[in-house]
């Protein structure tokens, strides 16, 4: 018999979102008449807008012509890599520092190979579960142990609590030397957005402690406040200590199309002097054969002038949903953060268990949410509401939340 990868066995629980889907199915089976609305998983619902969609169609059509046909594109179509560098980074990076992927989640998973099983990991608590689960799968996290009195965490992972007390920005003194820091802003799940001073202190801490930041900017296009940084590279010296992952999923409605990118600047070196960029290129070439050419043509269309207007329109739409949800919760006297510059609203239910609140909202309102404890120990007593949904469903959900 083959033996199981012990890192799999080390995972404490199933992946959060399938668990929520299972609970939804069980509830639906027991209540066949309930019209359940999901404000749970952050999955886009609105059609891809016409200009971007025409880019996808064009990409498919080109593949059927002799001149337009293309096969493997390794690290991505050069035109798309150039466009990303100019639209998001003011041409700061060469195309060999930008790697096109099939999504930010997939890159986060593959990035762990760079660090190996001995890596020390630090995460915001709460955080997008893939940082922790991916680290456990890579063997970096050791086993499960009690982290706090009433919840748990992994040995080998340093949890950096982000709570109302610290304005949802962690105490950087807790970060161990020489660790990989996963940092997400606008944050999933809290919706908090780190400001320039906070990100400057993060970069300075990373440099002085010999750390590498993996900065997840998947929600950067939801930022409306012009003073808030949309990329870690707005911060001086970040290109020496930070990798950035990003995605077309939320801004262009590509959750099902699958397209993202990573920036791995050449200036980042390991303690032994080798280039992280060269290793990432080696990993991509060895176990990833690039994103779909069709998706990449769609991505290119989404970044020209008409496409950028569509990104604005689509993200404005979801931000409109976020405002409705936040208002509905605030009216119930709940303290919320997020929902501005972010598609997630993080609501506190003081003294309550977040899975219990999740069940109560499902039973009373027939609305699916995501329990905060699923994102880490400091998520206890919180529930995340996602603003991805059709407007009529969001309005109906807001009405039903009055029953809470
Ligand atoms: N990064 C962050 C911070 C995310 O929240 C998500 C999606 C991704 C990356 C995924 O990006 P892709 O480019 O589409 O791979 N988070 C959603 C969906 C759940 C999931 O498992 O990814 C969420 O509800 O948190």
Q: pLDDT tens digits for 352-381?
A: 999 999 999 999 999 999 999 999 989 999
Residue 233 has pLDDT above 60, yes or no: yes
- Which DSSP state fits 37? E
pLDDT at 67: 97
pLDDT at 145: 65
Q: How many CB atoms lie within 10 A of CB 333?
A: 7
Which tokens sit at 157?
């992972």
Q: What are phi and psi of 38, to 5 degrees?
A: -100, 120
Residue 384 has pLDDT above 80, yes or no: yes
List, in sequence order, every residue forming a beta bridge with 275; answer none if it has no partner.
269
Pairing of strands 179-184, 120-125: parallel
CA 43 – ligand 1 centroid, Å: 8
Band (10; pLDDT cuts 50, 70, 90): confident
pLDDT at 149: 41
- Which DSSP state fits 385? E
Residue 5: partners with Cβ closer than 8 Å, 6 or more residues away? none
Residue 336 has pLDDT above 90, yes or no: yes
Among 72-81, 237-246, 391-400, the minimum mean pLDDT is found in 72-81
- In angstroms, rounded to a whole number, what is the distance separating the alpha carbons of residues 221 and 186? 9
Q: Is 4 exposed, middle or buried (0-12, 13-18, 19+ CB in 10 A)?
A: exposed
Residue with tokens 């990329």: 231
pLDDT at 234: 98
Nearest CA to ligand 1 atom 18: 42
Q: What are phi and psi of 371, to 5 degrees?
A: -70, 135
- In angstroms, rounded to a whole number, what is the distance separating the alpha carbons of residues 34 and 27? 9
CA 2 – ligand 1 centroid, Å: 32
pLDDT at 30: 96
User: How many alpha carbons fall within 13 Å on the CB side of residue 64?
Assistant: 4
Q: Is the peptide bond before 280 cis (omega within 30 degrees of 0)?
A: no
pLDDT at 36: 97
Band (9; pLDDT cuts 50, 70, 90): confident
pLDDT at 150: 43
Ligand 1 atom nearest residue 40's Cα: 24
List, in sequence order, every residue forming a beta bridge with 368; answer none if it has no partner.
38
Which tokens sit at 272?
């032994």
Q: Based on C-alpha coordinates, what's the Rg of the chain?
A: 21
pLDDT at 148: 46
Asked if residue 296 lies in contact with residue 74, where contact means CB atoms within 8 angstroms, the answer is no
User: Which residues' Cβ are closer than 6 Å to ligand 1?
Assistant: 17, 41-42, 103-106, 128, 184, 188, 216, 218, 247, 249, 255, 260
Buried b (16+ CB within 10 A) or exposed e, 122-148: bbbbbbbbbbbbbbbbbbbbeeeeebe
pLDDT, the chain, mean: 95
Ligand 1 atom nearest residue 43's Cα: 18
Which tokens sit at 193?
């957005």
Residue 226 has pLDDT above 90, yes or no: yes
Which tokens sit at 254?
């590509």
CA 39 – ligand 1 centroid, Å: 14
- In angstroms, rounded to a whole number, what is the distance separating the alpha carbons of residues 301 and 58? 10
- Ligand 1: residue of 128, 252, 255, 389 to mutate (most ligand atoms within 8 A of CB) is 128
Tell me the CA distances in angstroms from 225 to 70, 184, 193, 342, 397, one per residue in order: 40, 17, 10, 11, 27
Q: pLDDT tens digits for 141-168?
A: 776 665 544 456 787 899 999 999 999 9
DSSP letter string over 76-125? --HHHHHHHHHHHHTT-S-GGGEEEES-HHHHHHHHHHHH-TT-EEEEEE
- In angstroms, rounded to a whole number, what is the distance separating the alpha carbons of residues 402 and 376? 28
- In angstroms, rounded to a whole number, what is the distance separating the alpha carbons of residues 78 and 75? 8
Which tokens sit at 15?
């992946």
pLDDT at 392: 98
- Ligand 1: residue of 109, 247, 383 to mutate (most ligand atoms within 8 A of CB) is 247
- In angstroms, rounded to a whole number, what is the distance separating the alpha carbons of residues 230 and 211? 21
Q: pLDDT tens digits for 77-136?
A: 999 999 999 999 999 999 999 999 999 999 999 999 999 888 999 999 999 999 999 999
> How many angstroms from the chain centroid is the CA of residue 92?
23
Residue with tokens 């905060």: 372
pLDDT at 74: 82
Q: Specify the pTM.
A: 0.97
Segment 199-226 mean pLDDT: 98
Ligand 1 atom nearest residue 107's Cα: 15
Q: How many CB atoms lie within 10 A of CB 7?
A: 16
Segment 170-181 mean pLDDT: 97
- In angstroms, rounded to a whole number, what is the distance separating the alpha carbons of residues 388 and 344? 9
Residue with tokens 């039973």: 363
């Amino acid at each position: 018999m083959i033996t199981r990868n012990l890192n799999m066995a080390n995972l404490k629980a199933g992946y959060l979102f399938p668990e929520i889907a299972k609970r939804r199915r069980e509830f639906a089976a027991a209540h066949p008449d309930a019209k359940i609305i999901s404000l749970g998983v952050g999955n886009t619902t609105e059609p891809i807008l016409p200009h971007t969609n025409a880019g996808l169609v064009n990409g498919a059509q080109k593949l059927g012509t002799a001149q337009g046909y293309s096969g493997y594109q390794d690290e991505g179509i050069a035109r798309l890599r150039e466009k990303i560098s100019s639209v998001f980074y003011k041409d700061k990076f060469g195309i060999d520092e930008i790697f096109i992927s099939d999504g930010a989640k997939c890159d986060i998973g593959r990035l762990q190979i760079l660090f190996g099983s001995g890596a020390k990991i630090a995460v915001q608590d709460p955080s997008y579960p893939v940082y922790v689960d991916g680290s456990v799968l890579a063997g970096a996290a050791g086993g499960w142990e009690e982290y706090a009195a009433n919840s748990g965490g992994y040995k080998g992972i340093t949890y950096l609590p982000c709570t109302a007390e610290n304005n949802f920005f962690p105490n950087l003194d807790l970060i161990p030397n020489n660790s990989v820091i996963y940092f997400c802003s606008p944050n999933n799940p809290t919706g908090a957005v780190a400001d320039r001073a906070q990100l400057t202190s993060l970069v300075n801490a990373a440099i002085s402690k010999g750390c590498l930041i993996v900065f997840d900017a998947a929600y950067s296009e939801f930022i409306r406040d012009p003073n808030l940084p949309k990329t870690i590279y707005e911060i001086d010296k970040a290109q020496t200590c930070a990798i950035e992952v990003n995605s077309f999923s939320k801004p262009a409605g590509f959750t099902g199309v699958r397209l993202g990118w990573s920036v791995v600047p050449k200036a980042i070196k390991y303690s032994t002097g080798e280039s992280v960029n060269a290793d990432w290129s080696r990993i991509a070439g060895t176990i990833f054969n690039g994103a779909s050419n069709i998706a990449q043509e769609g991505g290119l269309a989404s970044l020209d002038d008409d496409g950028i207007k569509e990104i604005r329109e689509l993200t404005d739409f979801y931000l409109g949903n976020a405002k409705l949800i936040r208002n509905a919760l605030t009216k119930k006297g709940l303290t919320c953060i997020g929902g501005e510059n972010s598609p997630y609203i993080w609501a506190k239910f003081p003294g309550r268990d977040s899975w219990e609140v999740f069940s109560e909202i499902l039973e009373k309102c027939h609305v699916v949410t995501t329990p905060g404890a699923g994102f880490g120990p400091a998520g206890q007593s919180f529930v995340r509401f996602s603003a991805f949904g059709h407007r009529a469903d969001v309005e109906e959900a807001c009405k039903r939340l009055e029953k809470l």
